[in-house]
Structure 1
Amino acid sequence: MRLFPQATLLLAVDMQRAFDEPRWPRRWNRNVDHNGLRLLDAWRRTARPIFHVHHDSAEPASTLRPGQPGHRFREGFEPQDGEGTVGKIVNSAFIGTDLDIRLRRLGIEELVVFGISTDMCVSTTIRTGANMGWKITLAADACDCFDLPDGQGGTIPAEQIHAAHVATLGFEFCEAATTDGIIARL
């Protein structure tokens, strides 16, 4: 089993309260918070770096707009002293932000990523980061996503969307792993 180097950064993507509001479709992963908090705890205990990404929507009616209650981090996911934050306005935490340069200046070697939602901001961040040369591991069971319309009057269940994105990401852009597997490698 390959261990993670000390310079492996945990990137928590959009763990914000807005996603609990009723206007969002059904989510499926009841363990997303539990697993995400376990990752944060493991990183903190091993003194590894952590960044928290938050979506800063410019849309006036958005639940993710700064100043709205939904913009705040979910309980337990608030950054602690010494942990960085990255505000983004698009799906990727690398686009329009200084994330890449901050990681390089810190000497980061690898990333472990988790958050909401698997198929949108998590996936886009991983795809962009991999294309930029970052070695990334996805904590698949610490992610969540929503049911989506299929464009033909039906709905694609969130579980299927999640599974397809984890498979695609793991095939081409990152390693997909479980929270338990990741913690065992610290």
Structure 2
Amino acid sequence: MDIADDAALLVIDVQRGFDDPGWGPRDNPDAEANIGRLVAAWTDAGRPVVLVRHDSEEEGSPLAPGTPGNALKDVVADAAHELLVSKEVNSAFHGRPDLDAWLRERGIRQLVVCGIQTNMCVETTARVGGNLGYDVIVPLDATHTFDLEGPGGIRLTAAELARATAVNLDGGEFARVVSTDDVVG
């Protein structure tokens, strides 16, 4: 797989609060290890790493600023990075500082997006990135999510949601969905 020398790795919301049992059953127990592999590969290659942190404004959220759950997980807590984006919504492109402006100032056109949750902030960031004209790559095995209930009691498992995200992103031409092995080769 061709990865640009300046491709940015966006590491989305790899925070301790997602270990809270209140989220329910999750998929992909290897997600954090694969995220770690990507961060190591980017660091070794001298490519830019962007960490993204969800600073929830919801009362009682395990991701709220000032709580232990807001902190980044060990796999990325000490990672060398060029930018930390703080956000309160699903897309890293709607955080602070302005991710799109930062990327454009540096001429970065390719993004590799990993992190938590597959069908929420990872998918939304990838969709917005695709809409903004970036070449977006999502190594799906470097993401994870949780079971989710929707209208009328419809419940999808985390694995079903991850498959739906893969179809949405790749089938909808927002991003290429691949594996970590495809990216790090």
Q: Provide the TM-score with structure 1 as the length reference.
A: 0.94
Structure-2 residue corresponding to 1:102? 102
Unpaired runs of at least 5, structure 2: none
**Structure with more of its chain in helix, by fraction:** 2
Structure-2 residue corresponding to 1:76? 75
CA distance in 1, matches of 2:151, 2:2: 43
Q: Provide the TM-score with structure 2 as the length reference.
A: 0.94
Off by >2 Å, runs of 4+ in structure 1 = 79-83, 150-155
Deviation at 1:116, TM superposition (A): 0.6
2:43 counterpart of 1:44: yes
Count of equivalent residues = 183
Question: What letter corresponds to residue 53 of structure 1 in structure 2?
Answer: V
Question: What letter corresponds to residue 8 of structure 1 in structure 2?
Answer: A
Unpaired runs of at least 5, structure 1: none
Deviation at 1:60, TM superposition (A): 2.5
Structure 1 SS opposite 2:43: helix
Q: Percent identity over the alignment?
A: 40
Structure-2 residue corresponding to 1:174? 175
CA distance in 1, matches of 2:106, 2:79: 18
CA distance in 2, matches of 1:96, 1:22: 27
Question: What letter corresponds to residue 16 of structure 2 in structure 1?
Answer: R
Deviation at 1:153, TM superposition (A): 3.1
Say whether the 8 Å CA contact 1:79–1:85 is kept in structure 2. no
Structure 1 SS opposite 2:14: coil
Q: How does 1:108-127 map to 2 (within 5 A)?
A: 108-127=108-127
Instruction: Call closer, same or farther: CA 1:32–1:81 in 2, change over 3 Å.
Output: closer
2:155 counterpart of 1:155: yes
Q: Deviations over 1:150-170 (max 9, x none)?
A: 433352111011001111101
Structure 2 SS opposite 1:27: coil
CA distance in 2, matches of 1:89, 1:33: 22
Q: What is the root-mean-square deviation in Å for CA atoms of aligned residues?
A: 1.3
Deviation at 1:73, TM superposition (A): 0.4
Structure-2 residue corresponding to 1:29? 28
